[in-house]
A and B are shown apart, each in its own frame.
Chain A
Amino acid sequence: MAGARFASQFRTYLIMAEHSLWRLSRALQCAVNDRHFEDLADLLDEDVDWAIYGPIDMFPFLGARQGKAAVVEAVRQLAHSLRIRRFERETVMLDRDGAASMVRCLLTARDSEKPITTRFAHFAQFRAGKLIRLRVLVDTFDLVEQTLGRPIHLPRIGSFA
């Protein structure tokens, strides 16, 4: 009896000791690759404020979403298009309720099996272990060129900065 209580307390301690980022990371990977969305939904605050910046005309799963249902739907769309093959965290920073990281990621387009390599940065904010805010920034110009399989030719205009 005491052993079971200790095991339960220890498990609670481990869950509390683990930063929410790691649970979110596992749940996202499971949602995208295996299309299991329950764990992810459990980790989202009802009013989660979510944005992955990028061209929504080309990638409808990008853009801003408000609320758990909208975020799960966006991840469902993402999972329909892409699979995560590998990712390498180049930088991870954690504080009590927040996290930021820079990740290099190898993805595969589900329709063509085309590999896509991208680097993204994210900022996450948690409250009571649930995600309340996420911002993701991606080098989207490169992402679009890889998806197209060719460089984007711009109309000629003077000089840019």
Chain B
Amino acid sequence: MIEQTNRERVLQLIDAYAAGDFDKVLSLCSEDVEHIASAPIDILPHLGPRRGQSAVRQMWETVRSRYVERRHEIQALLADGDQVAADIRVYLRKRSNDRIVRYDVAVFYTLKDGRITRIREIMDTFDLVQQVVECDLAALVMEHLPRES
């Protein structure tokens, strides 16, 4: 059953990524693998769209250079045809000050001939940015909202 194979492939990828074994991760991906995250790229420039193993690896290396530890919990995993979706809770420890960044991300993987060709991510970016820049963004935004009379 293709769904079972694809599900196992994605679980291998998630584990290898968490272990920082990017060679293993990329061996599970196609040469022209695409990575797309819906995120503010002016603040998190490395999260811009990437295509090809070298560009994707570079992005992951950037993240690894700033965080010393990564843990994850898979909250939900679904496989249907050539796609697998995972709801993942991620914990990253900042290299600079040991603070933990915790966020949930929905990741949609597309597979072809057993290899991952596309990784698409959606996350609560407002909360992620708050944790990354260590600033109460909601308070900042609310301060500048026009007051209701």
**How far is it, in angstroms, between the C-alpha of A142 and the C-alpha of B47 when the chains are bound?**
14
* One of A93, A119, A125, A160 near B43 (C-beta < 8 A): A160
A141 touches B125 (CB 8 A): yes
Of all chain B residues, the one with the shortest Cβ separation from A140 is B126
**B63 contacts across to A, CB distance below 8 A:** 161
**A54 contacts across to B, CB distance below 8 A:** 124, 126-127
Q: Is the interface of B mostly helix, strand, loop or mixed?
A: mixed
Of all chain A residues, the one with the shortest Cβ separation from B137 is A152
A15 within 8 A of B: no
Chain A window 50-89, contacts with chain B (Cβ cutoff 8 Å), 1 for yes, 0 for no: 0001110110000000000000000000000000000000
* One of B44, B81, B125, B139 near A160 (C-beta < 8 A): B44
**How far is it, in angstroms, between the C-alpha of A154 and the C-alpha of B139 when the chains are bound?**
12
Known: A123-B78, A123-B106. Contact between A102 and B122, CB under 8 A?
A: yes
The stretch from B19-27, B48-56, B128-136 touching chain A is: B128-136
Report A4 CB to chain B, min CB distance, Å.
37
Considering only CB atoms and an 8 Å cut-off, how many residues of chain A contact the other chain? 36
> What are 7 pairs between A and B in contact, CB < 8 Å?
A91-B83, A92-B80, A102-B106, A123-B87, A152-B137, A154-B129, A155-B135
Taking Cβ atoms with an 8 Å cutoff, the residues of A that contact B are 53-55, 57-58, 91-95, 98-100, 102, 119-123, 125, 135, 137-144, 148, 152, 154-155, 157, 160-161
Other than A140-B124, A154-B129, give 13 A-B pairs with Cβ distance below 8 A: A53-B124, A55-B126, A55-B127, A91-B85, A92-B80, A98-B78, A119-B122, A123-B76, A135-B87, A137-B105, A148-B141, A160-B44, A161-B67
